[in-house]
């Protein structure tokens, strides 16, 4: 297949189309940003009588220009959904029912338990696991509380389950985290490689941006995915890769680029280090070697490498198909390697761009201090520790000298009895972590579990001693950062229900109960001002950002340094435009990647690959979307997608039930027969409490500690319809 490089320009009919929106009568429209995925769509919430009654996409917004996906369109229903947690609850034992408490009682008890456990077992005996869902101002305040007050080094976010490999890969290649590209790159690129991303379902508005760009100007789209996803169906080329072998394919693509003289030698010489060692490894990975590992014909690998290598500007996007693997960090480094040798970093249309999961997974990376200190500072760097200790006014000795356990290592440490108390913030590991039965046994071992969330009941709260009710999106003020580094405003539109508080106020209340005096900034605007000062001159510079500037601009991409007086702050659509990277020598690293096939693979006892992922109607563990009728009715119960030939062989018909067994557990789900999955493979959405994570193994990536959710072995057989098949949350 060849593609013309004289690009035809089409007029997009999308540009003239007014979005169809629900027009309930409203008193007022308030600007905000969608609280589901990392696309970062601008939203206006319609308010009537103090209630959120509808939403519409913000016309002219630089991300979505009025478009929303299903989840965004019904987002106001999450605010009004049943089972909102309205007041704090406490109990002394998980065998007892919860009793309503005052905030004073909840803060006092939680503070007393954390103090007791730290005094008895050491400060690391308390662990904190947060989320990608709360606001950046809240993340910053939580980091200040945990790093500067509690002092535990067992502090992480559930973003380890989704984006840790991207973070790790960026740091290894470029010396700092941060996606170099942006959505506008679709309008400049001459080739798009998409790895492990079902963009159509998981980030529908980014997909709309891509489709619009393709209507204006044709360029090749190549999708690499074991499934024939909706995205794969619209691609020019689909590479149905064997699960978990992306590193081999990436090495082989680089092999062809070098072999056929398609590398940008001037860029490589000026901007990178490590070429000689890297080349030695790449030479071992010919397309023929890769074909036997990845299941893709060698000639097809050559063809894709030529299209990518010959394009004037070429970009790579990816999501969990790369990240959720035992080779996740290496997969990201492989994408960076390929981008670097072709000079495709920081150019219009030519950059790697990780498409993040949660609405503010980026904000936690920037300012939560989970993996370091604010503004991409490192715990391992004494200068950084000194700067932040002085800025916060705390004793530097409170900071550990290296990063502690990730979320996926915190749970085994609870199992081993090293951690006795856990504070979960807007995360639901009973559905999101691999091997659900083991997670349940682990949570039972805790002396104290505090859960801070917006809904009750939820699966993880079964094991909690304290429940702290939080405000949801649009009930509080703050910012999110989207996948292209765009910091954007989430206005408070309505009041939270009952006694629920913003996460910021919960953090401040607990800090006060623990007599911490260093949390000086008490409002979102004050915290943003502090973030601006602490990040000045750092890679994620927010010093030019204020809440007002964000609303005027529809978001600003960092780095956004202070503007001259009277000028609007300017963001930065791309990173590394001048080629300067964050490693000490100013260069990016070409890192050799050897492939070690360490996945659980299908065998005679468990002959199917199990792949897990998302569907368009639901969001993560369904704590929100499971309560929204218009989303839940499309996808109310767990199901498995399996190939119709496998189904016929096993006597399973469409809408029969199938028992899926792994070495961990089993579950019975409805069968959907499809050609989207290849024979020998099944796919189960991970959203459901009785779902895919009962089966998953979750081997960890050695660099990022992210679990492999997409490569494990299962057996399938026909089953009776379960008697307890009911809608669940």
Closer to ligand SF4 by Cβ: residue 420 or 614: 614
- As a whole number of angstroms, the distance between CA 147 and CA 459 comes to 28
Closer to ligand SF4 by Cβ: residue 34 or 642: 34
Those residues with Cβ within 8 angstroms of residue 434's Cβ, 6 or more apart along the chain or in another chain: 693, 696, 697, 698, 707, 709
Q: Are 671 and 658 in contact (CB under 8 A)?
A: yes
Identify each DSSP E strand in 381-470 by its residue range.
421-425, 448-453, 466-469
Instruction: Please give the residue whose beta carbon sits closest to ligand SF4 in the complex.
Output: 72
Residues that bind ligand SF4 (CB under 6 A): 34, 36-37, 39-41, 64, 68-69, 71-72, 203-205
Q: Measuring CA to CA, which residue among 57, 18, 19 is closest to residue 40? A: 57
Please write down the HEC assignment for all residues of 451-518: EEECECCCHHHHHCCEEEEECCCCCCCEEEECCCCEEEEECCCCCCCCCCECHHHHHHHHHHHCCCCC
Write down the least CB distance from residue 43 to ligand SF4, Å: 7
Write down the least CB distance from residue 68 to ligand SF4, Å: 4
Write down the least CB distance from residue 140 to ligand SF4, Å: 22
Write down the least CB distance from residue 166 to ligand SF4, Å: 18
Closer to ligand SF4 by Cβ: residue 392 or 686: 686
Write down the least CB distance from residue 552 to ligand SF4, Å: 20
Q: Measuring CA to CA, which residue among 108, 72, 96, 126 is closest to residue 447? A: 126
Write down the least CB distance from residue 183 to ligand SF4, Å: 11
Write down the least CB distance from residue 635 to ligand SF4, Å: 15
Length of the chain: 729
CA angle centred on 470, ends 464 and 472, rounded to 5°: 130
| Residue 150 DSSP label | I
Write down the least CB distance from residue 34 to ligand SF4, Å: 3
What is the Cα Rg of the chain in Å? 25
Q: Measuring CA to CA, which residue among 449, 490, 450 is closest to residue 472? A: 490
Q: Rounded to an integer, what is the distance from CA 78 to the centroid of its chain?
A: 20
Those residues with Cβ within 8 angstroms of residue 15's Cβ, 6 or more apart along the chain or in another chain: 212
Closer to ligand SF4 by Cβ: residue 88 or 204: 204
Those residues with Cβ within 8 angstroms of residue 70's Cβ, 6 or more apart along the chain or in another chain: 204, 616, 617, 630, 631
Write down the least CB distance from residue 667 to ligand SF4, Å: 27
Token pair belonging to 561: 């340094």
DSSP string for 674-696: ESSS-TTEEEEES-STTSGGGT-
Closer to ligand SF4 by Cβ: residue 40 or 496: 40
The tokens 């540009």 sit on which residue?
15
Closer to ligand SF4 by Cβ: residue 313 or 493: 493
Closer to ligand SF4 by Cβ: residue 72 or 88: 72
Closer to ligand SF4 by Cβ: residue 39 or 368: 39
Write down the least CB distance from residue 686 to ligand SF4, Å: 17
Write down the least CB distance from residue 357 to ligand SF4, Å: 10
- As a whole number of angstroms, the distance between CA 688 and CA 639 comes to 9
Closer to ligand SF4 by Cβ: residue 209 or 227: 209
Closer to ligand SF4 by Cβ: residue 36 or 376: 36
Q: Are 264 and 343 in contact (CB under 8 A)?
A: yes
DSSP string for 296-314: S-HHHHHHHHHHHHHSSS-
Write down the least CB distance from residue 40 to ligand SF4, Å: 6
Closer to ligand SF4 by Cβ: residue 43 or 699: 43
Token pair belonging to 725: 């098949």
- Give the count of beta carbons closer than 10 Å to the beta carbon of residue 7: 13
Run of H or E residues at 204: helix 204-216
| Residue 701 DSSP label | P
Closer to ligand SF4 by Cβ: residue 56 or 690: 56
- As a whole number of angstroms, the distance between CA 621 and CA 623 comes to 6
User: 273: helix, coil or strand?
Assistant: strand
Closer to ligand SF4 by Cβ: residue 301 or 355: 355
Write down the least CB distance from residue 104 to ligand SF4, Å: 37
Token pair belonging to 297: 């014909």
- As a whole number of angstroms, the distance between CA 549 and CA 543 comes to 12
Closer to ligand SF4 by Cβ: residue 205 or 394: 205
Q: Are 638 and 688 in contact (CB under 8 A)?
A: yes
Write down the least CB distance from residue 57 to ligand SF4, Å: 7
């Amino acid at each position: 297949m060849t593609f013309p490089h004289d690009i035809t320009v089409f007029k997009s009919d999308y540009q003239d189309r007014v979005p169809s929106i629900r027009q309930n009568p409203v008193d007022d429209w308030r600007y905000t940003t969608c609280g589901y995925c990392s696309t970062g769509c601008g939203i206006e919430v319609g308010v009537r009588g103090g209630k959120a009654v509808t939403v519409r996409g913000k016309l002219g917004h630089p991300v979505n220009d009025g478009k929303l996906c299903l989840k965004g369109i019904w987002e106001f229903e999450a605010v009004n959904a049943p089972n909102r947690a309205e007041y704090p609850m406490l109990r002394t034992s998980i065998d007892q029912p919860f009793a309503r408490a005052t905030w004073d009682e909840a803060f006092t008890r939680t503070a007393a338990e954390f103090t007791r456990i730290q005094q008895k077992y050491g400060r690391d005996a308390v662990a904190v696991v947060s989320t990608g869902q709360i606001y950046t101002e809240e993340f910053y305040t939580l980091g200040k509380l945990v790093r500067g007050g509690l002092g535990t080094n067992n502090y992480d976010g559930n973003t380890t389950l989704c984006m840790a490999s991207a973070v790790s890969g960026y740091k290894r290649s470029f010396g700092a985290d941060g996606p170099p590209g942006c959505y506008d790159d679709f309008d400049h690129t001459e080739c798009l490689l998409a790895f492990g991303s079902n963009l159509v379902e998981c980030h529908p508005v980014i997909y709309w941006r891509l489709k619009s760009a393709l209507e204006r100007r044709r360029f090749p789209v190549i999708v690499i995915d074991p499934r024939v996803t909706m995205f794969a169906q619209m691609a020019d080329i689909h590479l149905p890769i064997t699960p978990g072998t992306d590193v081999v394919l990436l090495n082989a693509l680089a092999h062809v680029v070098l072999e056929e003289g398609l590398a940008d030698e001037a860029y490589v010489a000026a901007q990178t280090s490590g070429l000689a060692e890297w080349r030695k490894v790449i030479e071992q990975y010919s397309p023929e070697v890769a074909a036997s590992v990845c299941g893709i014909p060698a000639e097809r690998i050559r063809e894709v490498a030529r299209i990518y290598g010959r394009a004037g500007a070429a970009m790579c996007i990816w999501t969990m198909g790369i990240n959720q693997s035992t080779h996740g960090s290496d997969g990201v480094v492989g994408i960076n390697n390929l981008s670097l040798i072709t000079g495709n970093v920081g150019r219009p249309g030519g950059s790697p761009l990780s498409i993040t999961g949660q609405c503010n997974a980026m904000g936690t990376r920037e300012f939560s201090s989970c993996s370091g200190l604010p503004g991409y500072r490192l715990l391992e760097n004494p200068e950084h520790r000194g700067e932040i200790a002085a800025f916060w006014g705390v004793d530097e000795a409170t900071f550990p000298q290296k990063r502690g356990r990730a979320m996926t290592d915190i749970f085994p440490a609870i199992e081993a009895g090293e951690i006795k108390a856990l504070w979960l913030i807007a995360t639901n590991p009973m559905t999101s972590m691999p091997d659900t039965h083991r997670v349940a046994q682990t949570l039972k071992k805790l002396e104290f579990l505090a859960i801070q969330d917006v809904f009750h009941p939820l699966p993880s709260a079964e094991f909690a001693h304290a429940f702290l009710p939080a405000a949801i999106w649009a009930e509080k003020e703050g910012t999110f950062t989207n996948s292209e580094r765009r910091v954007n405003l989430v206005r408070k539109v309505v009041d939270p229900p009952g006694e629920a508080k913003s996460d910021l106020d919960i953090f401040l209340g607990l800090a006060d109960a623990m007599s911490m005096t260093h949390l000086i900034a008490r409002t979102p605007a004050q915290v943003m001002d502090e973030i601006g000062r602490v990040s000045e001159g750092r890679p994620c510079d927010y010093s030019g950002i204020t809440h007002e500037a964000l609303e005027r601009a529809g978001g600003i991409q960092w780095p956004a340094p202070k503007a001259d007086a009277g000028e609007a702050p300017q963001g930065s659509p791309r990173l590394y435009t001048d080629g300067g990277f964050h490693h000490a020598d100013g260069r990016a690293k070409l890192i050799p990647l050897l492939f070690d096939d360490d996945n659980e693979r299908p065998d005679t006892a468990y002959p199917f690959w199990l792949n897990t992922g998302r569907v368009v109607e639901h969001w993560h563990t369904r704590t929100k979307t499971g309560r929204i009728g218009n989303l839940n009715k499309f996808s109310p119960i767990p199901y498995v997608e399996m190939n119709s030939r496998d189904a016929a062989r096993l006597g399973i018909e469409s809408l029969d039930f199938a028992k899926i067994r792994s070495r961990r557990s089993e579950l019975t789900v409805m069968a959907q027969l499809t050609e989207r999955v290849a024979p020998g493979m099944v796919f189960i959405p991970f959203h459901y409490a009785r779902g895919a994570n009962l089966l998953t193994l979750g081997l960890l990536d050695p660099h990022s500690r992210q679990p492999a959710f997409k490569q494990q072995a299962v057996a399938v057989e026909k089953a009776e319809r379960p008697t307890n098949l009911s809608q669940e949350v």
